[in-house]
Amino acid sequence: MAMVSMKTESDENEGEMYPEELCIELEAEQLSKLGINAPMRVGTEVTITARAYVKEASTTMVEGGVEPSIELQITDMSVAAGNSMGSAATMLYGG
């Protein structure tokens, strides 16, 4: 399955940004389990592989239709520093 960019257009910042809901915070216990024992520099690119289950699913009535949403609970994951899967552009958009 190909990766898809999660960037969104923002009128107030006049640029592209990522939704805050897609941010994952890992604390000391999770970092230790992943074998990350030293701080990483802000901006370091990492590759995440994860398994999750749908914890919650809902729909909201909005003007013009229905808007679905899901909450995912990550159960297993790995984090690799660097670009271990090739370039981001290739991962997102193919060769």
The model carries a pTM of 0.70
Tell me the sheet residues that pair with 81.
Answer: 46
| Greater pLDDT, 17 or 51 | 51
Residue 95 confidence (pLDDT) above 60: no
φ, ψ of residue 21 to 5 degrees: the values are -65, -15
Residue 89 confidence (pLDDT) above 80: no
| Residues listed for the chain | 95
Opening angle at CA 67, ends 6 and 22, nearest 5: 30
CA 46 – CA 79 distance, rounded (Å): 6
Residue 12 confidence (pLDDT) above 80: no
